[in-house]
Chain A
Amino acid sequence: MNAKVVRRLRRGSKIASFALFMFLFVQAVYLGQSTLTSDLFYRFDPLIAATAMIAGRAIIAGLLYSLINLLASVIFGRVWCGWLCPMGTMLDWFSPRKLPPKKQVSEKWRTVKYLLFVVLIFGAVLGSQSLVIADPISILTRTMTTVLWPGLRFMVFEVESFLYNFDLLWPGLDVFNAKILLPLFQGIESVFIAALPIFLFFAAIVGLNWITERFWCRYFCPLGGMLGLFSRSSIFRREVGDACTSCELCAPNCPTGTIDKENNFVSDPAECIYCYDCAAENACGCAPPRDCSLVC
């Protein structure tokens, strides 16, 4: 498959997934009026499923959708991270375009996410799900609810208030208010006491992007760690073929920084998020790759 096509598909997938996340989020306010269940993303999250079932000592049927995610990881690697995770999408959007010269972060940091995953499971074995606050779906939902959506609402309504000073605009503003603002934001002005610490936690994760791209996904995300473990022997993987001319253009393009310059530009399948950035036009200098396993 053409790398250009795949990259476009990926962009579409990220947007669609995030749009779905936001749709479910807004629908949740209506409680029961939505056709799709609001906790859909949680149901596909194997970390949530594992900790919930272990801590609860029960099989929870609704969470078994996450097996699909694990299956996808076994086949394709960490596609969830690269194509579907709404937190990953947010991190891609809130990322500096021109990074300062790459600070070298030791590869040893990658084990932190595996460690965190083990600690979460251990906590679950002991009956506690408290550490699931580190799960990316949990982080994004919590932050969206208490910080981002109310913040957006505040800004939009402030602009609306300003515009309402002009009587001529009232008919148009009334329509905008009734058709768009009220359905999305309801008449509720939410101010959450814990909004500040929740925001700081999220901002810290986003801020890490300024050290290196997708810092959270590479080094800290426990879900990434779990999926990474399942991706170690993925069926589809990036492999470097004989055509490689060592042009060194792929390595700096990799968002998870897993392409090893010292080791013939191979990548760790547990870290690769299948983004195809390495095969982009301005990246790989070789002849275009011919099949899904991205032979370079």
Chain B
Amino acid sequence: MSEKENFNRREFLRTISIAGAGLYLTGCTQKQTQALPTPISDVATLNPNEENQNAAGGTYSEAEKPVFGDVYLSAVRGENPKEMTRRAVAAVGGIEKYISNGMDVIIKPNICTDYYSFEYGATTNPEVIAVLISLSLGAGAKRVRVMDNPFGGTAQSAYRKSGIEEAVIRAGGEMEVMNSNKFRPNEIPDGIDIKEWIFYQDILDADVVINVPIAKHHSTTGLTLGCKNLMGTILNRGQIHANIDQRIADLTSRVRPALTVIDGIRTLMHNGPTGGNLNDVKMSNTIIASADIVAADSYAATLFGKSGADIGYIRSATAMGLGIMDLNSIKIEELSI
């Protein structure tokens, strides 16, 4: 090995490491904020956020104290999305009913495109997600990830445009870009039309999935609510559109989120799922929560003047035994705050 060749190899390695370090530093500069609160905590309820203090009887007055009920479905009407979400979750048993210490939680909102901000009623309200993160961390969740797989624009730009990324990071959660490498084929044992599909493995493996759709009109299925929101967990979405109602029900049978919180603050009444016209957005100012995704969807349909039975995939899901469509047969709490 001649001296000159040795020297060149050293030079090459040095150059590559400097270049690599430079690229890494470039990557580092892309952090959105400087000091992020770390959500990872081994001790339950160590997170010093508002929700937690209040749950321990901290700063609420007697009149404001959230009532921890045990109803099947709650529907809260009001002006303050954060407060409404807290009350809605409290009414169906409180977050501790669903999340315990050390759990890996995934929140699945609707971030379908990067075209518009959340005022256009096409993506989930960031404040609703932020509250759910705070509640989850307060209950001792190991980490809370928020993710969706947009069909318009890139995940990064959609996360930013919808306002969700900012709210999530401030609340102590993580945005995750759904890496195509983490989708795996999975069986759907209870599936009627489809027996197998490609799902995001982390969502299926998570301890708890909280489904947080936005209630809106949909050109194909009539409405898109909780069950339909689960389409963000799969690949080959084009093929799902054949016999879509049954297939959505089949997907729901595999994912089975523990809790569904439907954002009905702004409901897109026409031209869904993409939207784009503020005139199509109605302030319905409602948050619906239930462990039963079918019941939640059925109630949300009433915001559009429909019933659960009017929507194909809700009927299919009910027939499969995934939940209760008939609102008269369940205990509902309707609050106005």
Contacts and interface: CB of A to CB of B under 8 A. Distances in A.
Interface of A: 11, 15, 18-19, 22-23, 26-27, 30, 93, 97, 160-161, 164, 170, 173-174, 177-180, 182-184, 186-188
Contacts of A93: 15
Interface string B9-43: 00100010011001110111010000000000000
Given A97-B8, A179-B28, 19 more contacts: A18-B19, A19-B18, A19-B19, A27-B26, A160-B181, A161-B181, A164-B181, A174-B179, A177-B177, A178-B176, A178-B177, A180-B23, A180-B27, A182-B156, A183-B30, A186-B154, A186-B156, A187-B154, A187-B177
A256 B5 CA distance: 21
B27 A170 contact: no
B155 interface: yes
A15 B12 CA distance: 11
Nearest to B28: A179
Contacts of B65: none
Interface residues of B, number: 22
B22 A23 contact: yes
A201 to B, nearest CB: 24
Interface string B241-275: 00000000000000000000000000000000000
A30 B156 CA distance: 11
Nearest to B25: A23
A97 B5 contact: yes
Nearest to B21: A19
B27 A177 contact: no
B182 interface: yes
Nearest to B181: A164
5 contacts: A15-B18, A23-B22, A164-B182, A180-B24, A183-B30
Contact of B23 (A164, A177, A184): A184
Contacts of B22: 19, 22-23
Interface in B104-126: none
A93 B8 CA distance: 10
Contact of B27 (A15, A19, A30, A179): A179
A183 B31 CA distance: 9
A182 B177 contact: yes
B151 to A, nearest CB: 13
B182 A170 contact: yes
A133 to B, nearest CB: 27
A129 B122 CA distance: 45
Contacts of B156: 182, 186-187
A152 B22 CA distance: 16
Contacts of B15: 15, 93
B27 A183 contact: yes
Contacts of B4: 97
B111 to A, nearest CB: 13
B26 A183 contact: yes
Contacts of B26: 22-23, 26-27, 183-184
B23 to A, nearest CB: 6
Contacts of A188: 154
A8 B181 CA distance: 43
A32 to B, nearest CB: 13
Contacts of A164: 179, 181-182
Contacts of B182: 164, 170
Interface in B171-219: 176-177, 179, 181-182
A270 B305 CA distance: 81
A183 B18 CA distance: 18
B176 to A, nearest CB: 7
A183 B24 CA distance: 9
Contacts of B5: 97
Contacts of A160: 181
Contacts of A178: 176-177
